[in-house]
Structure formats: structure tokens, C-alpha cells
């Protein structure tokens, strides 16, 4: 079975196009250690696909301290600055040839391509890895008010491309992203962890398999 009526792809960034989990972990770990909070890989796994604010609330579950909203925002910003410092180590070599070749082939077949990411660092990451020119639109944390599983980030991506949501295919590695795609009538393809999501229309193991499901 192939999709024969779609016009655009919307990709989550982290975990689909690039993998910066290690940087997120290091940045949250750095902050948690400063605050005397236990933080490990199991807690970090719960942070996938959700906003910074919700991530920090999960981390604070192991803290006995109360922080006001302004204090939380300050800590979150400190975490992000540390994370951005780590992102400066990124280069074009951090994007696989498989991903670059697949994206160019999709563009060659006439599909529009967009990023749909809750990250406010998406444009910086794309710039560091020389990926900006691959995409017709970028919808990220700077233009949304509600993170996934709310579909806002994908709806904005479709709007930026001037494409009907029903004509879009979302590629996601997080359950929250799959749910967001289905909420606004988009097709959803799961990769990585989301390949086991029963709400996904298709599951793939390799990025290049996208070429097998569209003409």
C-alpha cells in the first residue's frame, strides 16, 4: 500500500532527522545536579516529546523544594543555555547520508517538506547541520503556544506550506507526536520508539523506507 494523494511531509526533528538526546540528558543532568535532584536515564526517557516546562516538572517530582514559576523559568532558561552550548558541537556530519538522500529524493518527487518540532532550537540545529535548505517551512517552539500532543505545531507547518492537513504525512519518533498528527487528520508514520505505536498508520525501521510508501 502506498499513499497516492499526499502533497507534503512534516518531520519531527530530534529523533527523526537528528539525534540530540545525549545533549538534552547532559543539560538536564547538569541542572539537576546543581539542585541536588536525582536524575538518570529512566527519568530522562519520560521527557521525550514534551515541553521544557513539563519536563522540569517531572524532574522536580524528586525534589523536596518548592520553586515559583519565575524561578522555574529561570532554571529552564539556564538548562537551555547549557544545551545550546553543547549544540555548538554539531556539524553537517551529524546528519546521515541516508537522511539527506531520502529528503532530496522526496523533494525530487514533488513533495513539500517541513519541520514540526516543539524545540525552540530547531532553526539553530538545522543551521549548524546545514539542513535549512532541505525544508520549505519550519514550525517550532517559537511559533506555538501548546506542545504535542496538541496538533498546533503540525497545523502551523501545513499552514506555512499552504497545504491542507489531510494532504500531509507526519514522521514521528514519539507517541505524543503520532497522537498530535492524528488529531488534525494527518497521516502518521512511526519510526524509532513510535514504530510500536498502534495509532501510527505505518511503521518504519529505516528513514529511507519512506520512499517505499509514496510514489
Q: Which residues pair with 187 in a beta bridge?
A: 169
CA distance to 19, 68, 135, per residue, from 144 (Å): 22, 23, 18
Catalytic residue among 14, 136, 150, 173: 14
Residue 14 among the catalytic residues: yes
Could you tell me which residues come within 8 angstroms of residue 119 by beta carbon, excluding any fewer than 6 positions away?
Answer: 13, 14, 125, 140, 141
Note whether 195 and 202 are within 8 A (CB).
no
Catalytic residue among 12, 136, 140, 150: 12
Residue 153: alpha-carbon gap to chain centroid: 10
Three-state DSSP at 2 gives coil
Catalytic residue annotation: 12, 14
Amino acid at each position: 500500500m502506498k499513499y497516492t494523494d499526499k502533497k507534503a511531509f512534516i518531520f519531527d526533528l530530534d529523533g527523526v532527522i537528528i539525534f540530540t538526546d545525549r545533549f538534552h540528558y547532559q543539560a538536564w543532568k547538569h541542572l539537576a545536579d546543581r539542585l541536588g535532584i536525582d536524575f538518570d536515564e529512566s527519568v530522562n526517557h519520560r521527557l521525550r516529546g514534551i515541553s521544557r516546562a513539563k519536563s522540569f516538572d517531572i524532574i522536580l517530582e524528586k525534589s523536596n523544594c518548592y520553586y515559583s514559576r519565575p524561578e522555574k523559568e529561570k532554571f529552564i532558561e539556564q538548562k537551555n543555555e547549557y544545551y545550546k552550548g553543547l549544540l555548538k558541537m554539531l556539524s553537517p556530519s551529524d546528519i546521515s547520508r541516508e537522511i539527506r538522500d531520502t529528503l532530496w529524493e522526496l523533494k525530487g518527487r514533488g513533495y513539500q517538506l517541513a519541520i514540526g518540532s516543539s524545540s525552540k532550537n530547531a532553526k539553530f540545529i538545522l543551521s549548524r547541520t546545514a539542513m535549512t535548505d532541505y525544508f520549505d517551512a519550519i514550525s517550532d517552539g517559537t511559533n506555538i503556544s501548546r506542545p504535542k500532543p496538541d496538533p498546533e505545531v503540525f497545523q502551523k507547518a501545513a499552514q506555512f506550506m499552504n497545504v491542507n492537513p489531510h494532504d500531509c504525512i507526519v514522521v514521528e519518533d514519539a507517541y505524543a507526536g503520532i497522537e498530535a498528527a492524528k488529531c488534525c487528520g494527518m497521516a502518521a508514520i512511526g519510526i524509532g520508539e513510535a514504530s510500536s505505536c498502534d495509532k501510527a498508520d505505518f511503521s518504519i525501521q529505516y528513514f529511507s523506507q519512506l520512499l517505499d510508501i509514496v510514489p
